[in-house]
Chain A
């Protein structure tokens, strides 16, 4: 499953990382090197094996569905690139 520049462009878009055109080909080569190495996993027989998503055998805990925290507008906004009147200020998103 070799990656070409067009695939890198698509994946970079999925990852929302702006990638200049002249970086696409070198990146494709790097990724192909890594993926070729990863493909040794095809040697492993995983027939009937359940995918392992967690090291923790216990089911996720549930807590009571009640408010436990809040009223922290200033703390929440304290690292915002822009904020005003208790809101995040973002660029116009309707295009």
Chain B
């Protein structure tokens, strides 16, 4: 029954409900696949096989009794920054190696409420700071895709690289992920999967290891747009334990999939043409415009004039918030504590130098600098003002358009090791995704084509705040038009 791992989330949930197969069977099929693939792909940092089988058998009992939730019996992978009660949660960092949360994140609690089964915890860039999964303390994840032009091992993107690789290689039906500057959408684009970041405040941040609190949002990485709708509506909820959680109902987004987009106005922002963008990306974007036009959309050229300032703004705001958030890692109550030290200050500094990797240290240093006396106004406050300009850009176009179409990334997946020399070239990966984090808007990446080497490329649909429905609607039309069915050839 190894075919079970190839199912979509929707297909599996339907099959389980119809008792075509049991949760124990599909869960075992995934565990067997993971055991064979994970030593090479490194997508999971921990496989919770016993827990998975216990949860699967409990699901089977509920299904047999005619009960069960919307995800009953479906095996999922969980990004290792969602706290899972009794299961190590590291955020990809040595600082949290061995940390076992005594409580459950709200997002994962929602999944278990709906009957999902946890296969294990997925690898990620350390504290979600990275675009290639190479900053993980557990080593980089490998992309199941390889270019026809080279045998090089490729990054699955980051920070949710484990989630994207696991979904693309059929190591789970779907996965949770999180997105602070593009960490769901860039890995989805690099692996031929679907990823959506919802409106800020839709998904609770309670129990999610914090990076930059005003930008962090949870979301799914899945095989199809319909799966993304199904999983996201389970993940989202109002939560009194997150002060920025929005007290709004979660719609049934699966209803948006398959709806006609006739008459919708789609914005194409001219500022998203960036220097050095490969012709293939422009061609894919043009193709996306043509597909939506064919489907009856009206295409409107729009201007988002502050787009080019989004990344530099992000690289002030995110490190500043991180330097504040990660101050909690002091080696006292939890996390790594240095063995040898000369003073209290030395204990803090040594514990943090030992526990944090290079990129995290770099960003915490930038954060401390832009928040320090004398520079706070020139950098931090200035960035917050530019952030408002970027958000206003979107406000100014919503009168003319219902959604916006852009490429997801400026390139296809690159080779591991390729962009580690200069942090700035790595940061540029998020050029198309970071604007929605700053403005709090929903954005989906849908696989829409391949480059000359056969590597997946994604298109992004950005929507108004709380209008995921239109984002799913347009995303599903792109998915259908693209008919993206390519799968990576198995080499692992």
Contacts and interface: CB of A to CB of B under 8 A. Distances in A.
Contact of A15 (B323, B378, B379): B323
Contacts of B347: 91
B366 A34 contact: yes
Nearest to A8: B365
Interface residues of A, number: 54
Contacts of B341: 91
Nearest to B215: A55
B404 to A, nearest CB: 17
Interface string A44-70: 101001111111101011010000000
Contacts, number: 161
Nearest to B243: A60
Contacts of A81: 331-332, 334-337
B344 to A, nearest CB: 5
- Chain A contact surface mostly: loop
B239 to A, nearest CB: 11
Given A30-B423, A93-B344, A17 B353 contact: yes
Contact of A41 (B345, B383, B423): B383
B384 A53 contact: yes
A41 B439 contact: no
Give the contact-size bracket for chain B: 35 or more
B20 to A, nearest CB: 41
Contact of B368 (A1, A11, A38, A41): A11
A90 B332 contact: yes
B439 A55 contact: yes
A17 B333 contact: no
B361 interface: yes
B381 A51 contact: yes
B397 interface: no
B389 A56 contact: no
B214 interface: yes
B350 A1 contact: no
A21 to B, nearest CB: 13
A27 interface: yes
- Best-buried of B246, B365, B424 by chain A (most CB within 10 Å): B365
Interface in B385-404: 385-389, 391
A75 B119 CA distance: 24
A25 B422 CA distance: 16
Interface string B358-386: 00011011111100100100110111111
Interface string B334-355: 1111000101111111101100
A6 interface: no
Interface string A1-40: 1010001101111111111000000010011011101111
Interface stretch (B177-185, B276-284, B310-318): B310-318
A17 B389 CA distance: 34
Contact of B316 (A38, A60, A82, A93): A38
A11 B369 contact: yes
